[in-house]
Amino acid sequence: MGQTKTFQPKERLPSFSIVLETENLANADINKLSESLNSLVNQDLSPTQANEVLLIDSGDVPPQKLEQLRQKYPWIKVYQAPSGTGYYQAKMLGANLVTGEIVVYCDSDCIYETNWLRNLLIPFTQSDEIQIVAGETTTQARGIYGTAMALTYIFPQYSQQKTLQPTSQYFLNNVAFRREFLLQYPIPTELVLYRGNCVIHAQTLRSLGYTIWRQPQARATHAPPSGLSHFFWRFLLIGHDYYWQNRLLAKFQQKYRDPTAGLQSKLQILSKRLSKMFTNQPIHIIYLPLAIPIVITSVVLVLIGYVITLFHPHYLLKVYNQILGEFEVA
């Protein structure tokens, strides 16, 4: 897995479609959608060159706001999915509806660098064997809270690498698939996870002998949890997902049956994050002492979520979905 890949781009990029959804906005800042779309507008490869830019709305954006978005971004096609359509269901629905050779996935709460789209597509011109290309997503890190989230939230720091690399996973907010390949090997939508289905999907693809390629120059930033409720539930559910991912991944790798190996892996990840944080943004050194209480709170919530799920495997996600459903009705 230490190999790299260097491209010699062909003249033409493949046809592509862009898919994003609104489900991520159910408990996040709705203004992030406009910021995300603006970052698509600013791409050096215009989104108007896509076969379609499909926004899957599952009722998470008020109709008035949705109409404003249609007027401001006339190249968007909105598909009204049934209320309650989940994140992964929306993503796979998009793959079935679009027509491009390549399906490019982005999220409604991410901001994409200006060369993101082009860099994500270029590798597909190099070989028909390249089926999936993952970009790099990191957490927006501003101030004390941003430093804490850069350390404890899901997304790693940018690698600062330049060439295509094989990788073990991808994030569905920053990845592209050959559409026919994805339809043949779809992302599972009915797992007992809140997020992380793509982790299981990635391991399935690797077990079948496919390589996931990471394009370090296709970069995005993801918003951290916004508000106390979002923060509280997001980290509890990370603990829930860790428990279920360990169980689901056990069939792929024996090490996932060993809690010690999992702990060692998490400590290694933490060490690497700290090193890259200080290298990429030295100001984190100043903020880190003040961020420690938030870091500790995040870790404690993850542990609580894990322990609750250990004894009551379906409890947290069930309660969260009930609360979310009551909020949407209100």
pLDDT per residue of the chain (330 residues) written in tens, 0 to 9: 445 444 444 458 999 999 999 887 755 566 778 899 999 999 999 999 999 999 999 887 888 888 888 899 999 999 999 888 899 999 999 999 999 999 999 998 899 999 999 999 999 999 999 999 999 999 998 899 999 999 999 999 999 999 999 999 999 999 999 999 999 999 999 999 999 999 999 999 999 999 999 999 999 999 999 889 999 999 999 999 999 999 999 877 654 344 434 545 666 777 888 888 888 888 999 999 999 999 999 999 999 999 999 999 999 999 998 887 765 544
Count of H helices and E strands in the chain?
Answer: 11, 9
DSSP category for residue 164:
B
Among the listed residues 51, 40, 54, the one whose alpha carbon sits nearest the alpha carbon of residue 14: 51
User: Domain 16-226 maps to which CATH number in 3.40.50.300, 3.90.550.10, 3.40.640.10, 3.30.365.10?
Assistant: 3.90.550.10
Query: Which amino acid, 241?
Result: D
Instruction: Give the start-to-end residue ranges of the domains of the chain.
Output: 16-226, 236-329
Residues 6 or more apart whose CB falls under 8 angstroms from that of 218 comprise 113, 115, 116, 117, 119, 120, 133, 135, 136, 174
In degrees rounded to 5, what are phi and psi of residue 311?
A: -95, -30
CA distance 216 to 101: 22
Write down the residue that tokens 């050096």 correspond to.
44
Query: Which amino acid, 296?
Result: I
Q: What is the pLDDT of residue 64?
A: 86
In contact, 155 and 142? CB cutoff 8 Å: no
Q: What is the pLDDT of residue 250?
A: 85
Among the listed residues 50, 97, 101, the one whose alpha carbon sits nearest the alpha carbon of residue 73: 50
pTM: predicted TM-score of the whole model, two decimal places: 0.89
Q: Which two tokens stand for residue 116?
A: 């993101």
Cα dihedral 221/24/73/35 (nearest 10): -30
Burial class (CB in 10 A: 0-12, 13-18, 19+), 134: buried
